[in-house]
Amino acid sequence: MAESDLALIGAWQSPFVLRARVALNIKNLQYVFHEETFGNKSELLLKSNPVHKKIPVLLHSGKSICESLIIVEYIDEVWSSSGHAILPSDPYGRAIARFWAAYIDEKFFPSLRSIAVVQDEAGKKAAVEQVITGISLLEKAFGESSKGKPFFGGDHIGYLDIAFGGMLGWIKVTETIAGLKLIDPETTPQLAQWAEKFIHDPAVSGVFPDIGTLTEYSKVVIAKLRGSAGAK
């Protein structure tokens, strides 16, 4: 399906931009991708998202839609007849998916980021424990949501798959840099299988970042973040 007036402002390395790209792919939508450079916000971004000045931003018919999960919901609602439904069909299912998505953004990802950025051992240990706890909780949530099927959303990638799946590249990078095994076939077998299925799904594989390239990029970002933290 071609959309002549559809564009996404983002960056290849962003887990939040990946969410939007997967949703667009699920709906078989063609769009223009405006690549942002780390540390250099474009005029288009500043104009399109003047409040937060962050990616991703979806541009549709001259309108800006901001925040990754809001974008995913917007895509699912506007193009409801294309691809498969992303959000669960029943209100309870939607509520549960949104609950865990909020947990990922508010608790899980900040802790994951802290593993690499925080330099004191006590802070790093606390961050690792929080991430491991989160993965254990999501392992249980997967069993309850998937009902024996491949994804949180059942037979197909759904809202919670996109919310958590967007983080998989950075989880793998953190495992490499910190020498950890966060999603482990022995301790979290369901998530380990899910992660492989998610990464290789046709809606994801073409936009999922190369882990080696992402790891090298992360070293530059971590150095800058540590420098900023030390300057305060």
What is the third-level CATH fold of 91-216? Answer: Glutathione S-transferase Yfyf (Class Pi); Chain A, domain 2 (1.20.1050)
Position 29 scores a pLDDT of 97
Task: Choose between 91 and 227: higher pLDDT.
Answer: 91
DSSP-derived pairing of the beta strands 63-66 and 57-60: antiparallel
Q: Give the mean model confidence (pLDDT) for residues 184-189.
A: 96
The answer to whether residues 25 and 64 touch, using CB atoms and an 8 Å cutoff, is: no
Distance (Å, whole) CA 122 – CA 2: 51
- What CATH number has the domain spanning 2-78? 3.40.30.10
pTM, two decimal places: 0.94
Percentage of the chain exceeding pLDDT 70: 96
* Ranges of each domain in the chain: 2-78, 91-216
The answer to whether residues 31 and 10 touch, using CB atoms and an 8 Å cutoff, is: no
Sheet holding 2-10, edge to edge: 30-35, 2-10, 57-60, 63-66
Q: What is the pLDDT of residues 65-116, one digit of tens each?
A: 999 999 999 999 999 999 999 999 999 999 999 999 999 999 999 999 999 8
Distance (Å, whole) CA 117 – CA 227: 10
